Amino acid sequence: MTDQTAPVGHIVRLEGGIAEIRFERDLPAIATRLVTLTDPEIVIEVAALPGEGLARGLVMNHSPELRIGLAVRDTGSPIDVPVGKEVLGRMFNVFGDTIDDGPPLDDLLRRPVLRAPVPLSARRVEDAIFETGIKAIDLLSPLERGAKAGLFGGAGVGKTVLITEMIHNMVAAYDGVSLFCGIGERSREAEELYREMGEAGVLENTVMMFGQMNESPGVRFRVGHSALTMAEYFRDDLRRNVLVLIDNIFRFVQAGSEVSGLLGRIPSRVGYQPTLGTELAALEERICSTDQGTMTSIQAVYVPADDFTDPAATHTFAHLSASIVLSRKKASEGLYPAIDPLKSFSRMLTPGTVSPRHYRIARAVRSTLAEYEELKDIIAMLGLEELSERDRDTVRQARQLERFLTQPFFSTEAMTGNKGRFVPLQETLDSCARILAGEFADRDEGDFYMIGTIEDLDAPGEAPDAA
């Protein structure tokens, strides 16, 4: 459809972030991109067709020039983004425009952001662990290569720090392409992450895309689809393995709720949109592996008011193979990363998937921590001295394990002064096996706080005082 033959309508109503456009002929389809005849263009995505000759759309990039009577052109296609090797090392917005002060990418192939997921018959499942170098994750909630994992937690418990540490640990050693998608996050975090990845030397194999907190709900709702379109090109056309990091999936759900409210839909449970399940599935189901390559995803998920029964959290749980739950109680005790080992889950932690030794040690660690949790009430009422000798041994081992599963991060070196540590899985297993065997019965539990492996116990000046 050329500019001369494209249907042109006029805005007849504006309300919040919604524009209603009247067309005399050829009404546009749902999800079509409309642009105003202004410079710069204002993008409107068609969201509903409420009546004859009327299209109702989401204003994606607000401008003071937006007004009733403004002419709007139908582009005949949805929002699209550039794809190709040239996007590596660059930072984009939802429309595929570069926002990193580099040269524009005008001549690249472009693809629509709304695409159907890969059919089930073409998908592939890989039973291989994606090692992160973070002890608590690799031991108790191992991530699956080619699957989706979520980091769940309320505000201020360390989701963004944990995902930043994973970027540091995994992107540098990753044999494919990494794509970071920021949905509804702060501009400061985007700038810091871009700078840190450049300093770490991993930017040339990374694509970054942001729909920031100050942008319209339409942008925050679509930026995840834009990012996955770029990721799918690397997987399907270039046959590369792709690591997709998303911060934060709850902001996608929240943007969908805002869009639903703007369109006048009746809210569902807890005020969320009635289409929450299908909208989240349309995004999540595009993340999968095929014979061409794997697509692995790690997603931060904000949990409102620490309520894990919130619909946003429960719907997200259903799409994941591993759920890493962050605990405010652990964070208040200074146990970072504040991962709750008893609530976190991974379908990889089964005898047929991980090694028998890994499964045995992980079960023993989890069992010890669970017994300690049950004994806490007795200790609070009667004191540690009233426990049997066996229970006192359990408490000692559990406290040592709790502190051993803390870890200094590379991403927090500047704030804590502690040098970050990457701990291979085998070293984590060896260390936990020695603690469970009672080899350190004479060591104070504080000695295990913020160390890498057991070998660091005797390294002078490595570990700070325990919290």
- Say whether 436 sits in a helix, a strand or coil: helix
From the list 131, 165, 185, 215, the catalytic residue is 185
From the list 33, 56, 145, 159, the catalytic residue is 159
- Say whether 207 sits in a helix, a strand or coil: strand
- The DSSP secondary-structure symbol of 171 reads I
- Beta strand 206-211 with 91-92 is parallel
Give the separation between CA 458 and CA 38, rounded to whole angstroms. 69
Tell me how crowded residue 388 is: count the other CB atoms within 10 A of its CB: 8
52 is catalytic: no
Q: Are 355 and 128 in contact (CB under 8 A)?
A: no
Query: How many CA within 13 A on the CB side of residue 311?
Result: 17
Q: Record the tokens describing residue 316, joined without a space.
A: 């997200």
Tell me how crowded residue 408 is: count the other CB atoms within 10 A of its CB: 20
Q: Are 97 and 63 in contact (CB under 8 A)?
A: no
Q: What does the angle CA 197 – CA 137 – CA 167 come to, to the nearest 5 degrees? A: 5
Quick one: which of 205, 208, 210 has its CA closest to 238? 205
Tell me how crowded residue 188 is: count the other CB atoms within 10 A of its CB: 10
Give the separation between CA 112 and CA 77, rounded to whole angstroms. 8
Contacts of residue 375, Cβ cutoff 8 Å, sequence gap at least 6? 387, 391, 394, 395
135 is catalytic: no
Catalytic residue IDs? 159, 185-186
